[in-house]
């Protein structure tokens, strides 16, 4: 490679985000090979404490990963879960009784002061505290009783990609461990993840329809809903397109009125019960003449204006979010490039958000 070509590559817009997206299959394999035994041991020790319910704490992409964990815990274990409002403790000084409560804090950096303060307060209130981070030496890991390292390696791009999918897999393995299982179904993920990422040309063609979009709507149900929220976040923080995410059920209760034949809609359709629950929403969207793009099974893509067929054969619905988000990460990247912007340099964003 010539020095000139090397310099061009180093200056290419989005090269950091692109490189980190490409690392995801290797990160998944690393977690499965190196991280899984430690995650299962942590889960075993927490299960022995028999938590009565779970609170999940996070911000940004990690908040969407925490929502995924909420679905897992409620569906797989029947444990009631809630997403915490950190200001109740950090701003208002509330001190709830958290004895026998499992508080899981998800944070890529583990350095956000409000997450650290909230977790410390939870532990002082009697909670079992677990930090899920990409940094075992972080302040959050230090104040938590237990820690899970998602092993994603350094992430330099401002839009989180590999840490998001790594967090999903780590949380899946943790919940499997709480059930006394090894999460063996996840071992099938790295290969289809590679297949999805290799289809970037398809995504580039799909992105052309959104180059001049003024707003977008992204919807799903069930396990796919966290994916819809994360996809909207990625589009907003890279391309600045106002992207609104809705549960399909919520979309039918008012926001559907803003959808017409020029309003782009992306539907994340799980291959399973979530997709079945979303079907009435898809029917209504098609009836309104919406520009509907589907990420999901082939039959659903064929019935839409366009889409991306996911290789979900043999992948349980609860693991599909790890594949679903990959083409949507690529879409955010390609839309941003098509609009003449740099995904590596979103305006007014910081890797660690400091709120109090």
Give the pLDDT of residue 7.
41
Check: CB of residue 151 under 8 Å from CB of residue 166: yes
Mean pLDDT of the 343-353 span: 64
Give the pLDDT of residue 6.
44
Mean pLDDT of the 277-304 span: 92
Q: Residue 278: which of 219, 328, 319, 233 has the closest Cα?
A: 219
Is residue 12's pLDDT more than 60? yes
Q: What superfamily would CATH give domain 9-188? A: Glucose-6-phosphate isomerase like protein; domain 1 (3.40.50.10490)
Give CA–CA dist 60/77, Å, rounded. 25
**pLDDT (tens digit, 9 = 90+) per residue, 201-239?**
999 999 998 998 888 999 999 999 999 999 999 999 999
Residues of the chain with pLDDT > 90: what percent? 79
Q: What superfamily would CATH give domain 190-338? A: Glucose-6-phosphate isomerase like protein; domain 1 (3.40.50.10490)
Q: What residues form DSSP beta bridges with 56? A: 83, 104
Query: Other CB atoms closer than 10 Å to residue 326's CB: what's the count?
Result: 26
- Domains 9-188 and 190-338 agree in fold: yes
In order, the DSSP letters of 286-299 are HHTT-EEEEEE-HH
Q: Where are the domains of the chain?
A: 9-188, 190-338
**pLDDT (tens digit, 9 = 90+) per residue, 164-211?**
999 999 999 999 999 999 999 999 999 999 999 999 999 999 999 899
**pLDDT (tens digit, 9 = 90+) per residue, 13-61?**
899 999 999 999 999 999 999 999 999 999 999 999 999 999 999 999 9
**pLDDT (tens digit, 9 = 90+) per residue, 238-259?**
999 999 999 998 888 766 766 6
């Amino acid at each position: 490679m010539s020095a000139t070509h090397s310099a061009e590559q180093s200056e290419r817009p989005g090269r950091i985000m692109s490189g980190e997206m490409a690392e995801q299959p290797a990160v998944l394999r690393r977690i499965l090979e190196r991280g899984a035994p430690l995650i299962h041991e942590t889960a075993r020790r927490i299960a022995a404490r028999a938590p009565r319910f779970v609170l999940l704490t996070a911000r940004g992409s990690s908040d969407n990963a925490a929502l995924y964990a909420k679905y897992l815990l409620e569906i797989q274990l029947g444990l009631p879960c809630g997403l915490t409002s950190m200001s109740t403790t950090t701003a208002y000084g509330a001190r709830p009784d958290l004895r026998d409560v499992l508080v899981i804090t998800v944070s890529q950096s583990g350095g956000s002061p409000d997450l650290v303060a909230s977790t410390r307060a939870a532990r002082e209130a009697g909670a079992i505290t677990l930090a899920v981070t990409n940094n075992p030496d972080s302040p959050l890991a230090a104040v938590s009783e237990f820690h899970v390292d998602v092993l994603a390696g350094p992430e330099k791009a401002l839009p989180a990609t590999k840490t998001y999918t790594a967090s999903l897999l780590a949380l899946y393995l943790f919940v499997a461990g709480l059930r006394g299982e090894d999460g063996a179904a996840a071992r099938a993920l790295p290969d289809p993840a590679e297949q999805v990422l290799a289809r970037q040309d398809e995504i580039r063609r799909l992105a052309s329809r959104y180059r001049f979009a003024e707003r977008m709507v992204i919807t799903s149900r069930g396990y796919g809903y966290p994916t819809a929220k994360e996809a909207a976040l990625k589009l907003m923080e890279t391309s600045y397109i106002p992207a609104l995410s809705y549960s399909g059920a919520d979309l039918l209760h008012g926001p559907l009125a803003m959808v017409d034949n020029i309003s782009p809609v992306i539907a994340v359709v799980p291959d399973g019960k979530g997709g079945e629950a979303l079907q009435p929403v898809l029917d209504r969207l098609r009836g309104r003449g919406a520009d509907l793009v589907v990420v999901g099974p082939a039959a659903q893509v064929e019935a839409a204006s366009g889409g991306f067929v996911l290789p979900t054969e043999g992948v349980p619905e609860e693991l599909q979010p790890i594949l679903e988000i990959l083409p949507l990460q690529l879409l955010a990247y390609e839309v941003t490039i098509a609009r003449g912007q740099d995904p590596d340099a979103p305006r007014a964003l910081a890797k660690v958000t400091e709120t109090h």
